[in-house]
Amino acid sequence: MADFKTLTPQDFKSDQEVKWCPGCGDHAILSSVQKALPEVSEALKYTKERYVFVSGIGCSSRFPYYMNTYGFHGIHGRASAIATGIKVANPTLSVWQITGDGDALAIGGNHFIHAVRRNIDINILLFNNEIYGLTKGQYSPTSKLGSITKTSPFGTVEHPFRPGELVIGAQGKFFARSIDVEVKLTSEILVEAAKHDGTSVVEILQNCVIFNDHTHGNITDREFRDDRVIVLHHGEKMVFGKQRDKGLVLDGQGLRLKVVTIGQDGYTLDDLLVHDETNPNPGLHMMLVNMEYPEYPVALGVIRMVKDSTYDDNVRDQVIEVQRNAKIHNMDELLHSGETWEVE
Amino acid sequence: MDQKVSRVEMEEVVIRFSGDSGDGMQLTGTLFSDTSALLGNGVSTFPDYPSEIRAPQGTVGGVSGFQVHFGSKKINTPGDFCDVLVAMNPAALKANWMWVKKGGTIILDADTFNEKGLVRAGYETLDPVAELNLDDFHLIFANITTLTKESLKESEMDNKSIVRCKNMFTLGMVYNMFDRPMLHTEEYLVKKFAKKPGLAAANMKVLKDGYNYAGNIQAMPNRFRVEPATRDKGTYRNVNGNTATAWGLIAAAEKAGLPLFCGSYPITPATEILVELAKRKDLGVKTLQAEDEIAGICTSIGAAFAGNFAVTSTSGPGLSLKSEAIGLAVMAELPLVVVDVQRGGPSTGLPTKTEQSDLLQALWGRNGECPMAVVAASTPSNCFDYAFMAGKLSIEHMTPVMLLTDGFISNGSQPWKIPSMSSYPAITPPVVPVGTADYYPYKRNPETLARGWALPGTPGLEHRIGGLEKDALKGSVSHNPMNHQVMVETRANKVERMQNYIPEQDVIGDTEGDLLVIGWGGTYGHLVSAVNLLRAEGKKVSLCHIHYINPLPKNLGDIFKSYKKLVVCELNMGQMANYLRMSYQKFDYKQMNKVQGLPFTVAELTDKFNEILEGK
């Protein structure tokens, strides 16, 4: 391991020309990652050679080529499996999977939920633009019902996945959400994701300027963003709005969230919920990840971060435990174990 | 009584145990073969079981069989026909009587031969002996179920558990008939039921009662004795093909100084490889039971990228699912061993039956120009050697290697003289050292054309690889036309050059003659037996059994030249024959093919060879 030195975003830029379309949300996400990694390195004392970026297929999956780290550009949908193999083979590596809504939730859906279920210590950045970009504009598993695309000229007739709901349904322990252009928020979240032991899923609402422009526009446009999103911070009141006058409470029976305005209907700041990202009970987190505009603000920030044992640690611990009491230490001993007999 | 029974020396005996798939016939057969191996006999076994775990009781579809062939010489096959058939119910008799030699012995559980049992097994009459015309056989109708109940009437076990011991009664009978000691089986029972000593004692009592019963009724006119085989000095053990495969992979990892990683998904008949590797945490083996076949190989590719010796195990349908990922491993030029334990296809096919019909899939079943090194084992024990060599070739040449075995050798077992790891060659992974100044991902060893293996975590060697075509040196994405031509040719050349690192082909028999029998994979035992029989008759027949399939050994064409006729024998419709027609075009290849989910019989092989020799 090299001596630890302070890294800068520049250290993570590769010599490859970035080929995403001008105006694509991926550019901002790349900046966020390159901004976050020096902080991660500082916080966790990681040297540059410990980072591995893994991807599948799709626009977002070109990402590893633009990072001056170890990188593996896999095949469609399989990045979670490849990343899992890398982490188990060498748990000292910091493994980052870059994926899109098609790669992770359609062709790779199975690998995605099983990575989450195993809670292997990898960071999954899910770029959600609700469209297939690289194949030029077909609907994806997150496209809104009724979306008009090349393969749904009369509108889609299928219900979309909500990634956060899927993650929590698969027993996910870490889920966060950001918006591509929110570089500061995204990089803050990425630092938290890296620090978290276990599978960290970060959904980034990303704009495909060519095939699905403004798909998230009704919540991400600057003029009304503050009123339509809520950025959650652990231990803080769930407040939002340009005037910071709106917030979330549980309704009378505690079964659903309700948006209230401070000073109306008798609500005060004290009545608002306090965000607890560490609550193992997924009930409230599920409600938060499923909030959709216009009924609710869309939740951003770290929504769920619960400690639990990780797959890679469990693998390592089991090997250590078995080896402690092992009677067989090498191949020759294995060959001679069990029943054998001599021929004189 | 016992003294009156004469002892007859026999050179070899084949016994087939058959019963309902819940009757414990696999265990019974295994215990018998282990005992015989411990006595020093040559042994070969063949488990033959249905793919349903518990098919409807008493039906022919639910019959499970285990054939063991033992002798006072080296035994190459489980035998075509058996001397003794154990049939625990009418269905087992119906499914197996045709495999008994004329005049052979059939032991039957008379208690099951009632109307209900006969109807369920699909007999048309209530007289199976007449219906199947069994007059030429020596039939022993023993009330095995009743006798087992009698044997345990003092025990406190429930009826179901008591009846479950009846396989031990049968085993005891057969031990008596072939003069086998029961010590090994007793030791096994004590160990297996360590926490239930009552069950161990019950099974032992039934075993002994069965043994004595056979002596008392003089079940056999003679007691047969099979003397130990003369073998090389050394320490021996029994091994089946799947265990040997798993161990060969561990051995390669140890020689290479790398951790072994296996990402895999259970599939018949390959599952036992994963099962065996999962036990070996003591040797640091990491197994990942993946969510599907694709994840099995993709986790392994990830592990290979990160510097482990990575393997994945599967059977035909799983291999189909892994195709795209194998292409990725070829493209990324990473070491990876893919084990395909072949079974009857296509599709789900015959999961528990053997076949050799994945050869062309192994060679070419991928998109693009995607060369794959292919190695095939031929006996249960040499799965160890070829798994080891698959690992060595894969690691040193930085390319995936397919190891083909099949349902026959993977489940079959044989005694194996335990090798010493010091007799195996070194494996040198081409790991790029820290501080290499002029590192490029696709910079190659000029001899092998292997690229260097730069492991994540090594400072200064950061690089990106993947499934897109890469620049021939720098590894950055390249769509340059000439670069693609160079890379396609280089990947092919790299596999071809392995020819310089594999042994030359050998021939069993004379190096020239009238007929060269060409085979590959698990048919070896039957082919060598058939060739040896004809050679003993003075016929000029030799066997060329191919283990290195891609690339083929350098001298293969020279061997083919020296025989008047060539016949390629395989359990498919002619895949190797067609591959050889492509590779060595000037020869005329006759074919012997069989696709019945069964091995060849020695008899049908000798018939075919005689036919060819006689010019028919």
Of B225, B257, B279, the domain-final residue: B225
Would an 8 Å CB–CB cutoff place A210 in contact with chain B? Answer: no
Distance of CA B387 to the CA centre of its chain: 12
B576 close to B360: Cβ distance less than 8 angstroms: no
Return the DSSP state at A106.
Answer: I
Question: Average pLDDT in the B287-296 region?
Answer: 98
Which helix (H) or strand (E) is A286 found in, with range? helix A283-289
Q: Is the pLDDT confidence value at A4 over 80? A: no
Answer whether residue A253 is part of any domain.
no
- Top-confidence residue, B581 or B194: B581
The encoded tokens of residue A265 equal 């209907």
Claim to verify: residue B43 and residue B71 sit in the same structural domain: yes
Dist CA A251 CA A85 (whole Å): 45
pTM of the model: 0.92
Answer whether residue B440 is part of any domain.
no
Dist CA A285 CA A344 (whole Å): 71
- Those of residues 228-257 in A touching chain B at CB distance below 8 A are none
What is the tally of structural domains in chain A?
Answer: 1
Dist CA A209 CA A33 (whole Å): 20
Domain that holds residue A46: 9-229
Answer whether residue B486 is part of any domain.
no
Dist CA B16 CA B35 (whole Å): 15
Q: Is the pLDDT confidence value at B568 over 70? A: yes
Half-sphere exposure of B488 (CA within 13 A, CB side): 11
Dist CA B447 CA B88 (whole Å): 61
B107 vs B111, B205, B323, CA distance in Å?
A: 12, 20, 48
pLDDT digits (tens, 9 = 90+) for B419-463: 999 999 999 999 999 999 999 999 999 999 999 999 999 999 999
pLDDT digits (tens, 9 = 90+) for B69-83: 999 888 999 999 999
Dist CA A99 CA A115 (whole Å): 13
Would an 8 Å CB–CB cutoff place B283 in contact with chain A? Answer: yes
Would an 8 Å CB–CB cutoff place A323 in contact with chain B? Answer: yes
Q: How many CB pairs under 8 A join A and B?
A: 212
Claim to verify: residue B130 and residue B249 sit in the same structural domain: no
Claim to verify: residue B220 and residue B309 sit in the same structural domain: no
Answer whether residue A77 is part of any domain.
yes
C-alpha distance from B225 to closest chain A C-alpha (Å) = 19
Residue of B nearest to A342 (CA): B235
C-alpha distance from B275 to closest chain A C-alpha (Å) = 15
Question: Average pLDDT in the A253-275 region?
Answer: 95
Dist CA B374 CA B403 (whole Å): 6
Please indicate whether, in this complex, the C-beta atoms of B305 and A16 are within 8 angstroms of each other: no
pLDDT of residue B40: 86
Q: Which residue, among B283, B431, B455, B461, would best test binding to A if mutated, counting the most A CBs under 10 Å from its CB?
A: B283
Residue of A nearest to B287 (CA): A315
Question: Average pLDDT in the B22-28 region?
Answer: 91
Would an 8 Å CB–CB cutoff place B421 in contact with chain A? Answer: yes
pLDDT of residue B47: 87
* Residues of chain A neighbouring B301 (CB-CB closer than 8 A): 74, 82, 85
Task: Determine which of A50-54, A107-111, A253-257 has the lowest per-residue pLDDT on average.
Answer: A253-257
Residue of A nearest to B416 (CA): A340
* Residues of chain A neighbouring B300 (CB-CB closer than 8 A): 85
Please identify which residue in the block is written with the tokens 């959650």.
A232
CATH code of residue B587: 3.40.50.920
What is the tally of structural domains in chain B?
Answer: 3
Q: What is the mean pLDDT of chain B?
A: 94
CATH code of residue A144: 3.40.50.970
**Gap between the terminal Cα atoms of chain A:** 53
Residue of A nearest to B326 (CA): A75
Claim to verify: residue B117 and residue B156 sit in the same structural domain: yes
Domain that holds residue B283: 237-423
Dist CA B497 CA B489 (whole Å): 12
Answer whether residue A240 is part of any domain.
no
Q: Is the pLDDT confidence value at B301 over 50? A: yes
Confidence of residue A342 (pLDDT cuts 50, 70, 90): confident
Answer whether residue A330 is part of any domain.
no
Claim to verify: residue B406 and residue B360 sit in the same structural domain: yes
Please indicate whether, in this complex, the C-beta atoms of B281 and A92 are within 8 angstroms of each other: no
Of B371, B389, B423, the domain-final residue: B423
**Alpha helices (H) along B404-478:** 407-411
Query: Predicted ipTM?
Result: 0.97
Answer whether residue B320 is part of any domain.
yes
* Residues of chain B neighbouring A86 (CB-CB closer than 8 A): 302-303, 305-306, 456
* Residues of chain B neighbouring A90 (CB-CB closer than 8 A): 306-308, 455-457
Confidence of residue A161 (pLDDT cuts 50, 70, 90): very high
Among candidates A108, A124, A127, A232, which has minimal Cα distance to A174?
A: A124
Would an 8 Å CB–CB cutoff place B38 in contact with chain A? Answer: yes
pLDDT digits (tens, 9 = 90+) for B371-402: 999 999 999 999 999 999 999 999 999 999 99
Please indicate whether, in this complex, the C-beta atoms of B466 and A49 are within 8 angstroms of each other: no
pLDDT digits (tens, 9 = 90+) for B129-155: 999 999 989 999 999 999 999 999 998
CATH code of residue B164: 3.40.920.10
Claim to verify: residue B120 and residue B11 sit in the same structural domain: yes
Please indicate whether, in this complex, the C-beta atoms of B237 and A1 are within 8 angstroms of each other: no
* Residues of chain B neighbouring A41 (CB-CB closer than 8 A): none
Confidence of residue B2 (pLDDT cuts 50, 70, 90): very low
Question: Average pLDDT in the A197-207 region?
Answer: 98
Answer whether residue A342 is part of any domain.
no
CATH code of residue B347: 3.40.50.970
Dist CA A284 CA A274 (whole Å): 11
pLDDT digits (tens, 9 = 90+) for B331-373: 999 999 999 999 999 999 999 999 999 999 999 999 999 999 9
Claim to verify: residue B271 and residue B407 sit in the same structural domain: yes
Task: Determine which of A266-275, B5-14, B525-534 has the lowest per-residue pLDDT on average.
Answer: B5-14
- Those of residues 69-88 in A touching chain B at CB distance below 8 A are 69-75, 78, 80-88
Confidence of residue B7 (pLDDT cuts 50, 70, 90): low
Answer whether residue A299 is part of any domain.
no
Confidence of residue A3 (pLDDT cuts 50, 70, 90): low
In this structure, how many other beta carbons lie within 10 angstroms of the beta carbon of residue A333? 14
Of B404, B423, B442, the domain-final residue: B423
Answer whether residue B88 is part of any domain.
yes
Claim to verify: residue B121 and residue B10 sit in the same structural domain: yes
Claim to verify: residue B45 and residue B188 sit in the same structural domain: yes
pLDDT of residue B51: 73
- Top-confidence residue, B390 or A5: B390
Please indicate whether, in this complex, the C-beta atoms of A114 and B37 are within 8 angstroms of each other: no
